Amino acid sequence: MKKFIFFGLLLVPTLAAAISNFSSESGTLRIPDVSVDGEIHFYNVELHLDFATKSFELKQLTAHQPVKAQLGVPFNLFVGQSAILDDLEIQFVAIQEDSRCPTDGNCIWAGNVVVVLQVPKGGEVLLNTNSDVGPTAVKLDKYRLELEKVSPEPISTQAISEYEITLVVTGSL
């Protein structure tokens, strides 16, 4: 948590210099990348501004550069990271649920992971690793977006510190 507070303090002067005027009904400011002295340090920065208290909350940022995806070629994303394919942008927002059986466990059910994605043209998208629970793929306009894998596999004695997903985008059938 101290890391976000430090980053938040670092971002305020940087953003103040670059953004002279701001207006938003939702109070959310999205910044594609933040650079200091010409070097990009953060991507997909999202701030929620409370106009009543004149304060802000850092909602999201990532140090992972956006991925240039190709049709039919699997690609990986970390939480907060985006992928761009022509006119389609996909952002990996969060893991909503992870009930997978640990690799060192003995379970009667494989479990499921629910991945939350944000797609400007389609809003929030939920994809599952287990097709018995929910969709593993979704149609977005002329594309089909499929969740192929969620890494790492869980181990009963270790918490997962950073998720990575594998997606593939194909032409819609």
- Indicate the fold that domain 67-171 takes in CATH: Tick-borne Encephalitis virus Glycoprotein; domain 1 (2.60.98)
pLDDT tens figures, 36-91: 777 666 666 777 777 788 777 776 666 667 889 999 999 999 998 999 998 899 99
Q: Taking the complete model, does pTM exceed 0.95, yes or no? A: no
| Beta bridge pairs of residue 13 | none
pLDDT tens figures, 75-132: 999 998 999 998 899 999 999 999 999 999 899 988 999 999 999 877 899 999 999 9
Q: Are 77 and 92 in contact (CB under 8 A)?
A: yes
Tokens representing residue 51 in the block: 């106009």
Domain definitions of the chain by residue range:
2-62, 67-171
**Cβ atoms within 10 Å of 144's Cβ, excluding its own:** 15
User: Rounded distance, CA 115 to CA 94, Å?
Assistant: 6
